Structure 1
Amino acid sequence: MDWKPSRHSDIPIYQQIVDFIEKRIIYGEYPPGSILPSERTLAKMLEVNRGTIITAYDVLHSKGMVERIKGSGTKVSSDFWGLTRNRIPNWNLYVESGSFLPNLPMYQHIQDEIQERSLINFASGELAPDLTPYADFRHILSQSEFNHSLGYDHSQGNLSLRNTVADHLQEYKRIDCTSQSILITSGAQQALYLIVQCLLHPGDSVAIENPSYAYSLPLFRSARIKTHLLTVGEQGVEPDDIIALYKKHKIKMIFLNPIFQNPTGTLLSHERRTKILELSAELGIPVVEDDPYSLIPFSKEADTATLKSLDRNGNVLYISSLSKLVASGLRIGWIVGPQKVITRLADAKQQVDFGHSIFPQWIATEFLGADTFAGHLNHVQQRLLEKRNLLIASLERHLSDYVTFHAPEGGVHLWCSLKREVNEYRLLEAALRNGVVFVPGSLLGSEKGHMRLTFGRTETPLIEEGVLRLKQAFMMLT
């Protein structure tokens, strides 16, 4: 037997043995009536205590998988297929067998901590309550007349919202499109999911930024897509690296977050934006542009022209949402692309959820089309700049011995490099004990020694206190 239980796993050893034997039985490798190794023999083979094997066999017996006959040993139940007794499904086996992979355990841990505890939150990429336009929403709900059907809407999304989004994109981002080239999605996350599932095949190669939010997404692994990394430098990714990946791996698609990139806050230079579009047209490779932050610059001089606004060949699939501008809970995002692609993605979305709920679409239509939107956007820009400046000042005052960082020109993320060799995950646990949370850099990229601090969600009066608690966590480990 080549298999051995892992002593580093969170799963008890006896349960690992139960799961292993149960799989062998279900797969027919241990047929009904076959004799299993004796307790002593299996304990020696697996290098565990005999008591561990006894416990495992007892569990298998209680589930009806094996029979334990005194003097004859343990054998696979002859009634394994349930002719005379009921059996409990092995839910662990089902959970492990699904094709849609779970989030990384550390991400799950961070989310659990955020939901269950009151923490100073430098981890979530959403807006703080003081940036959410509650008054505008209340006005819409009390003054605007809702007269839409409560049945299923158009598979691409409500027509009024799509027309409003088209006007919004033209006015604020210089992107020309019509309602026919827009698909309303449940945020940018669903947009990425639909693109990967509908436009790529298992085994295809794609290019993603490193570090990047996409680095941690299980949707690529679930779809069995091979991801190849483009290093993000001070001016963003290097176009020549795209050529190298294409020659070596024949990449089918490029995923970029060029404006105030997550997590580094980097702004892809205009020259590189132009060059990437030229390469896309030359090689025939589509670019998926994720653009949550281009409307959150901290100066009027920042060049926030999106790839889509510069695209003259229709090579860019453009994704954006209201999550980082208005409220993540609205779950309003969109994809802009060729009509044939939008129709394909809309068909898939219809199969998944029968289209988007009319209520958030109605609120988004009213909000985006209101005269107050420009004022809200200006408010968000100013308050986020205040939060960024306060975070930078606090880091310089309290953590200059521990981190260096790049000050972003927009967006909500600040990317820190650790000056000292510290295990990021131990640092996270120490921070959680002190009541503050961040995202370790290793969850977002291939290199260790970084951390992402997101200032959009943190309430302004708590930012400096959060940095002080981070300092305490560093001091506990160094």
Structure 2
Amino acid sequence: MWKPDRNSKKTLYEQIADYLEQRISYGEFPPGSLLPPERKLAEQFDVNRSTVIAAFAELRSMGIIESRIGSGTRVSTSKWGATPKHTPNWSRFAEGGSFLPNLPFLRRIREALTHNPTLIDFASGELSADLAPTNEIAVLMGKNAYTSYLGYVNPQGATPLREALVDYLNNYRGIRTTESSILITSGSQQSLFLITQCLLSPGDAVAIEDPSYCYSLPMFQSAGLRLFRLPVDKHGVQPEDIRTLYKKHRIKMVFLNPNYQNPTGALLSEERRKRLLDIISELGLPVVEDDPYSLTSYDGIPPLSLKSMDTTGSVLYIGSFSKIAASGLRIGWMVAPRSIVERLADARQQMDFGLSIIPQQVAGQFLQSDYFGPHLERLRIQLQFKRDLLIESLEKELSGLIEYVVPAGGIHFWCKLIPSIPDGILLEESIKKGIVMVPGSVYGSDSGYVRFTFARAKSEEIALGISRFAEALRGLIE
């Protein structure tokens, strides 16, 4: 993120004017487009608003921008009498297309973290650097020779990685499969994207959990799907609700995150798992099982996957490296019938010709190495430690103001606030205090819920972060 150089001989406002002029000349701000407000730029550049006002005045004197009261500041459509005649309306293009942007709260969180990296991050759903097996992967990369072939590989995924996943899925998740039934993706979200785009059609009805991570993904709405909700309690969804939705709306697919669900942390009970599988088998309904958190089970005994209990081939299973190793490797996988794998691999080839071979080799070697088991044990211990720090801080700072159920695995902590505060106001006040979290409405819940993700923040930041959140909340209550 660019900022003016305070040691430069040029004044701050001149540097800002030059920077904005450059961005305008590059077409980042086309003629007629609206520039960010002075106050926002001042915050971004870490200067006084008066400095930005001076920079705007400089650009205005050169005819590059023009300001109107009540309309903001825009890039001039004419400069020194030269009027562009065929400038595309990029704003209209940016607002068009069938693929919807992220939800406003998620865009606001991303913007806040970009502009202020010192914010304590209880929003990002990834592991902190100290939880990733960085040293182990570095050792493997130093020991092993990588392929000299750096061209495209099979869009279904590199065969050695799929073979390694066969053993991994059998040993760690109780899933028996073959490499021909595995598709490698860039993560769970790409798996979901391929399913929504290739296996479903606009107007199809699908069932998702309530609240649900799926609700935060505009890809479902972009695909034209109709979403119907399955309420989640501390034991997961009620299987009979699936039958009800099928009778009423003829749902075509069910999306579930049964193990340490995002955002609630709920674990689908064994009794409900069996009943759910009976119902979907009876109805001939496919279930997409998203299972990123099972191996984080704090007692070291991962819950069964639905796929391992599936005797009728009704479950499409999705997994990922992101929550158990390193999100930066961009490795995920799907276990599905051969015909589905072929269909999605064909679509995948049209998108990007498949993943890079190198991260696939790294992931395959790590799965088969002596490092993988010890890494999982260390990860579980450290995640439980962070969870306990979070609970201790919540009880100290917010006793009587929140309700929660303690998760037995995963990386998310779901809280109900007492009393409820409008999500937007609470988020903005939290950002002012130096912390970001995710309002519950992002996942489809009513206002008054918050998801704290504790894997990203450093252990020493957790107490301070909750203290800041408590300050923000109490300030709004009072």
Deviations 1:402-422 (A, max 9, x none): 211110010000100001121
Equivalence for 1:283: 283
How is 1:261-272 mapped onto 2 (pairs within 5 angstroms)? 261-272=261-272
Whichever residue aligns with residue 238 of structure 1, its letter is: Q
2:123 paired with 1:123: yes
Equivalence for 1:75: none
Deviations 1:157-182 (A, max 9, x none): 00000000111000101100111000
Query: Counterpart of 2:295 in 1: which secondary structure?
Result: coil
Q: Is the Cα–Cα contact under 8 Å of residues 395 and 467 in structure 1 kept in the other structure?
A: yes
Distance 1:468 1:155 in 2: 48
Q: TM-score, normalised by structure 2?
A: 0.82
Deviations 1:69-102 (A, max 9, x none): xxxxxxxxxxxxxxx9832111111122211111
Give 1:148 deviation, angstroms.
Answer: 4.6
Equivalence for 1:372: 371
2:183 paired with 1:186: no
Whichever residue aligns with residue 89 of structure 1, its letter is: P
Whichever residue aligns with residue 271 of structure 2, its letter is: E
Equivalence for 1:435: 434
Distance 1:148 1:323 in 2: 27
Q: Which moved more, 1:253-262 or 1:117-126?
A: 117-126
Distance 1:15 1:142 in 2: 50
How is 1:16-31 mapped onto 2 (pairs within 5 angstroms)? none
Deviations 1:13-71 (A, max 9, x none): x999xxxxxxxxxxxxxxxxxxxxxxxxxxxxxxxxxx999x89xx9x959xxxxxxxx
Post-superposition, which runs of at least 4 consecutive aligned residues in structure 1 deviate over 3 A?
none
Query: Counterpart of 1:295 in 2: which secondary structure?
Result: helix
Structure with higher Rg: it is 1
Equivalence for 1:316: 315
How is 1:168-179 mapped onto 2 (pairs within 5 angstroms)? 168-179=168-179
2:153 paired with 1:153: yes
How is 1:42-57 mapped onto 2 (pairs within 5 angstroms)? none
Residues 194 and 94 of structure 1: CA distance in aligned 2, closer, same or farther (over 3 Å): same
Give 1:337 deviation, angstroms.
Answer: 0.6
Equivalence for 1:354: 353
How is 1:413-432 mapped onto 2 (pairs within 5 angstroms)? 413-432=412-431
Equivalence for 1:385: 384
2:371 paired with 1:406: no
Q: Is the Cα–Cα contact under 8 Å of residues 296 and 302 in structure 2 kept in the other structure?
A: no
Deviations 1:252-275 (A, max 9, x none): 000000000000000001111111
Distance 2:339 2:299 in 1: 38
Equivalence for 1:138: 138
Whichever residue aligns with residue 310 of structure 2, its letter is: D
2:170 paired with 1:162: no
Equivalence for 2:7: none
Distance 2:115 2:286 in 1: 41
Distance 2:241 2:348 in 1: 33
Whichever residue aligns with residue 190 of structure 2, its letter is: Q
Whichever residue aligns with residue 469 of structure 2, its letter is: L
Query: Counterpart of 1:475 in 2: which secondary structure?
Result: helix
Query: Counterpart of 1:230 in 2: which secondary structure?
Result: strand
Whichever residue aligns with residue 349 of structure 1, its letter is: R
2:238 paired with 1:238: yes
Q: How many residues align?
A: 407
Equivalence for 1:470: 469
Residues 241 and 143 of structure 1: CA distance in aligned 2, closer, same or farther (over 3 Å): same
Deviations 1:172-204 (A, max 9, x none): 011001110000001100000000000000000
Distance 1:403 1:146 in 2: 51
2:238 paired with 1:201: no
Give 1:105 deviation, angstroms.
Answer: 1.5
Equivalence for 1:259: 259
Q: TM-score, normalised by structure 1?
A: 0.82
Residues 241 and 148 of structure 1: CA distance in aligned 2, closer, same or farther (over 3 Å): farther
Q: Is the Cα–Cα contact under 8 Å of residues 270 and 303 in structure 1 kept in the other structure?
A: no
How is 1:101-112 mapped onto 2 (pairs within 5 angstroms)? 101-112=100-111
Distance 1:420 1:224 in 2: 36
Query: Counterpart of 1:209 in 2: which secondary structure?
Result: strand
Give 1:116 deviation, angstroms.
Answer: 2.7
Q: Is the Cα–Cα contact under 8 Å of residues 294 and 302 in structure 2 kept in the other structure?
A: no
Q: Which runs of 5+ in 1 are unaligned?
A: 1-13, 17-50, 64-83
Equivalence for 1:114: 113
Identity over aligned residues, as a percent?
48
Residues 296 and 85 of structure 1: CA distance in aligned 2, closer, same or farther (over 3 Å): closer
Equivalence for 1:89: 88
2:448 paired with 1:449: yes
Whichever residue aligns with residue 258 of structure 2, its letter is: P
